[in-house]
Homo-oligomer: A and B are copies of this chain.
């Protein structure tokens, strides 16, 4: 059971609720977000009278545990969560299209790509400055230098920046440069990091771990939400299966399931989901048809020279075609893609 306190609940009200719960033989887990405090009731004690608790001063609601995730659930928040990004509300009728290279490789590369994707109709620019690589000897990203180039690209094009943060200590630094913090698939259950981005107020793009269930993805979102940051987008990016022809298996089922279980926007990453550029457009269209709120697509001016993920990156002209196809498809599922000029500075 979860007790959700009012946003302006006082410390005294909170401690009264805790005392009452303990008196009934339970322990409590306190999630003190910047915005609100949530009290988890732990263990087994006397039957709890939910009505009584709900009547206490400072309590907003008392929720039974139907799903292990609470704040992320539709029961808790029936309306779609909307997150502003470059003039659109992600989660609403406008599809968010986030595009750019896997890694920021140079100032020229990222600025050239930013102009190209903006022209094609992108809503935001992606690019990795800190790269999680399975080999310690592989290119690890340009680090803060990469962040500066991303900021320059935003300056030039007006596109907000989505970039990954891997180190909890670097969250404040990345927040200085980025508009959206990306949590990568490998870090989906890095709770120290989830805690750190939960303390920030930056929007978060949380990628599903490559072998995480839908429920585990929503539990990781819950970590961020329970620390007070309500701006979470979850991202389906393909799961690990026995199939080896494709890099991952894009879990198309997860799109409508996530939309039903949760109010959070759902972004699809067909680039990682299939892992070969020839198939990215088909999977992107499928994701939109299935109800995704947006796409994140890898685009590189010269994929054959990319330092990472070249095999799954689209050239800008192919990306423009993809956006054109999505623009045609969107109305069938009650969506639209903003025209390119709307995103200009």
Contact = CB atoms under 8 A, between A and B. Distances in A.
Contact of A167 (B38, B168, B250): B168
Nearest to A170: B192
Given A29-B138, A282-B256, A211 B245 contact: no
A302 interface: no
A102 to B, nearest CB: 15
A31 B133 CA distance: 14
Interface of A is mostly: mixed
Contacts of A137: 2, 29, 31, 38, 40, 42, 70, 226
A274 B167 CA distance: 32
Given A134-B189, A134-B216, A283-B290, A42 B139 contact: yes
A252 B332 contact: no
A51 interface: no
A333 B239 contact: no
A127 interface: no
Contacts of A226: 136-137
Contacts of A210: 211
A286 interface: yes
Interface residues of A, number: 81
B186 A189 contact: yes
A290 B284 CA distance: 8
Nearest to A69: B135
Interface hub of A133, A167, A191 (most chain B Cβ within 10 A): A191
Contacts of A193: 190
Contact of A245 (B215, B219, B240): B215
A223 B289 contact: no
B244 A249 contact: no
A282 B278 contact: no
Interface string A134-163: 111111100000000000000000000000
28 contacts: A27-B139, A29-B136, A29-B137, A38-B137, A42-B137, A68-B134, A68-B135, A70-B137, A136-B222, A136-B226, A168-B169, A187-B190, A190-B193, A209-B211, A211-B211, A211-B242, A239-B243, A239-B249, A243-B254, A246-B257, A253-B283, A256-B274, A256-B279, A256-B283, A283-B290, A286-B290, A289-B329, A329-B332
Given A134-B220, A252-B286, 6 more contacts: A42-B137, A133-B191, A136-B223, A167-B192, A169-B169, A244-B244
4 smallest CB-CB distances across A and B, nearest first, come from A211-B211, A40-B137, A256-B282, A289-B289
Interface of A: 2, 27, 29, 31, 38, 40, 42-43, 68-70, 132-140, 166-169, 186-187, 189-193, 209-211, 213-216, 219-220, 222-223, 226-227, 239-246, 249-257, 260, 273-274, 278-279, 282-283, 285-291, 307, 325, 328-329, 332-333
